[in-house]
Structure 1
Amino acid sequence: MAEDSDRTTVDVAGHAVRGVGVGPETRCAHYDGARDVVAIRFACCDAYYPCFRCHAAVADHDAERIPRAAFDADGVLCGVCGSALSVRTFVEGDHACPDCGAAFNPGCANHYDRYFEMDG
């Protein structure tokens, strides 16, 4: 678990984003690059975290992925403009926010299976 002083919750367009060292655009202690500006809603707790490492450090339960049947529901938050995106829009998009154009880290695709049911 994270040290209590490292735990952070920030408000992004009315959504609480929890994690470790979370900044105003959802960057965190684990991913702090210019394009690391998304938060993912975890199905297990219906809460947004910048990354799976933040969830592991802060939450008191195991992570659960968003099921394929829920891919049309909001599941990703743009940390720049606060737009809530469907999982489908995020996964099938061009690594940019369709609302504000902010660039997302294409390396996030390497971790989709940690957040979303990509198989089956």
Structure 2
Amino acid sequence: MSEAGEVRGVDVDDETRCAHYDSESDVVAIRFGCCGTYYACFECHAALADHPPEPWPTARRTEPAARCGVCGADLTATEYTSTDACPNCEARFNPGCAEHYHLYFEWIDAADSD
């Protein structure tokens, strides 16, 4: 398991943007079900982890699974997937991230994230 404050990734900045996704609104890190570690994105997990990715499990959907890179608030998967901004600091999240929800969350399939 990762340390609570750590977000892993390739060239991660202070607000969790990485080498793969670095727009103004790319400010969310995702916790992976396989290791419990926060990564800036699925590509960062692929580049740095020594194991295949597993999405956050359905049974744990009410546990912290996303982190706002602006204020550091931890959000449950349900909270994160049902909003377009951080409920704590109102930082806007990239709406394009929804296209990857099926990679991050077990109960969302690719058809749901179109």
Q: Fold-level match, TM-score > 0.5? A: yes
State yes or no: 1:116 paired with 2:101: no
Extract unaligned runs of 5+ from structure 1: 1-10
Count of matched residue pairs: 106
Q: Does 1:67 align with 2:45?
A: no
Q: Find 2:66's aligned residue among 64, 67, 76.
A: 76
Provide the residue aligned with 1:105 in structure 2: 94
Shift of 1:62: 0.1
RMSD: 1.2
CA offsets 1:77-102 (integer angstroms, 9 cap, x no match): 00000000000000112x10000000
- The separation in 2 between residues aligned to 1:20 and 1:28, in whole angstroms, is 6
Are residues 1:96 and 2:82 paired? no
Question: Which is strand-richer, 1 or 2?
Answer: 1
1:11-30 matches, within 5 Å, as 15-30=5-20
- Structure 2 residue matching 1:15: 3-state secondary structure: coil
Q: 1:49 aligns with which of 25, 34, 39?
A: 39
TM-score in terms of structure 2 length: 0.90
Q: In the alignment, what sits opposite 1:6?
A: none
Q: Identity of aligned pairs, percent?
A: 56
Q: Which runs of 4+ in 1 moved over 4 A?
A: none
